[in-house]
Amino acid sequence: ITKINRVYLSPGNCKALPEVLEAIKEADGIIIGPGSLYTNVIPNLLVNGIARAIKEAKGVKLYVCNIMTEPGLTDNYDVSDHINAIIDHCGEGLIDYCLYDTGEVIPEFIKKYNLDGAELVEQNIDDVKDKKIRFIKENMSIIKDDFVRHNSMLIADTLIKIICDDLKFQDKQNDIEYIMMNSKLKADKQIKKDMILNEKYNKKLKHNHRLRRKMKRSKSKFANKYSDRIKSIRESDEKAIKKKKANISRKEKNEKKIEEMKKKKEEILKAYGKIKENK
């Protein structure tokens, strides 16, 4: 497999919009990636003025490395290869931190990617040309619609944490910027806890449901042997209950009839008494 040596833009004189350069200059943090290394990340950095603006920016620069390789583009690439490709095209100074995955992806999904010629990006960081880059290793892979994706919340929180730590180092804990970002980190931490608890609860529900179905399907030896007898006893019990209810209902009807007859008798006696008085 031959590695890609260089990509370029045609025409090569395209320039970045002033608004883009201003946004880079004012940014507290800049995230590069994730995305296709040679068709997405590097081409954007090759636009005139972009790489220079990022290098000169005061904001934290975080590169998010891909989790899986791309067939025909980054075959057999490790973390070092991804970063060195960016350095070869744009020079050093674009990356302060690199966030890369732990490689703890569910094997069945790796096999699915292997069929298309992709594999996990190796976690080697020893051969990076720019030794000033600091590395953060996190389990940032999630499965979405049967595809391996980056955890966007984790990426955002990593950048915010780096910025907060920098502000804390400058003794700026009372700044509105620090307070807001630190609050965001706390809120996201609670959301993660809730998500984990919810996931555990759903797993427990599924387990209980499977258990109930299993118990329903599998009968004991006693139940198999005496099932007819048990059914007969159950039916006789049901008949006895119905009979009892019918007797109670009949008794109530009879009592009601007696009450009605008593009332009629009283009415007849009253009427007879009035007739007698009139005479």
Residues, the chain, total? 279
Do 75 and 154 lie in one domain? The reply is yes
Do 29 and 155 lie in one domain? The reply is yes
The residue out of 170, 188, 209 marking a domain boundary is 170
Give the count of domains, the chain. Answer: 2
Contact indicator for 94, 54 with CB cutoff of 8 Å: yes
Do 122 and 259 lie in one domain? The reply is no
Do 29 and 142 lie in one domain? The reply is yes
CA 180 to chain centre: 24
User: Any idea what the CATH number is for the domain that residue 28 is in?
Assistant: 3.40.50.10680
Kindly state the greatest CA–CA separation across the chain: 133
Do 164 and 234 lie in one domain? The reply is no
215 in a structural domain: no
Place of tokens 């910027």: 177
Tokens of 130: 């720019």
Owning domain of residue 250: 230-278
Contact indicator for 62, 97 with CB cutoff of 8 Å: yes
Do 164 and 90 lie in one domain? The reply is yes
143 in a structural domain: yes
The DSSP symbol for 37 reads I
271 in a structural domain: yes
| 141: nearest Cα among 118, 109, 117 | 109
pTM over the 0.85 mark:
no
Q: How far is it, in rounded angstroms, from Cα 1 to Cα 75? A: 8
Walk along the chain (279 residues) and give the pLDDT tens digit of each residue.
678 889 999 988 899 999 999 999 999 889 999 999 999 999 999 999 999 999 999 989 999 999 999 999 999 999 999 999 999 999 999 999 999 999 888 888 888 889 889 999 999 999 999 999 999 999 988 888 888 899 888 888 888 888 888 877 778 778 777 788 778 778 877 877 777 777 777 777 776 767 667 666 655 555 555 667 777 778 888 888 888 888 777 777 777 777 777 777 677 667 656 666 665
Do 243 and 149 lie in one domain? The reply is no
The residue out of 155, 170, 185 marking a domain boundary is 170
Do 243 and 127 lie in one domain? The reply is no
Do 165 and 272 lie in one domain? The reply is no
183 in a structural domain: no
Q: How far is it, in rounded angstroms, from Cα 79 to Cα 85? A: 10
Instruction: Express each pLDDT in 94-108 by its tens digit.
Output: 999 999 999 888 888
Do 47 and 141 lie in one domain? The reply is yes
| 38: nearest Cα among 78, 1, 71, 6 | 6
Do 155 and 236 lie in one domain? The reply is no
192 in a structural domain: no
Do 127 and 234 lie in one domain? The reply is no
Would you state the pLDDT for residue 92? 95
The residue out of 170, 191, 222 marking a domain boundary is 170
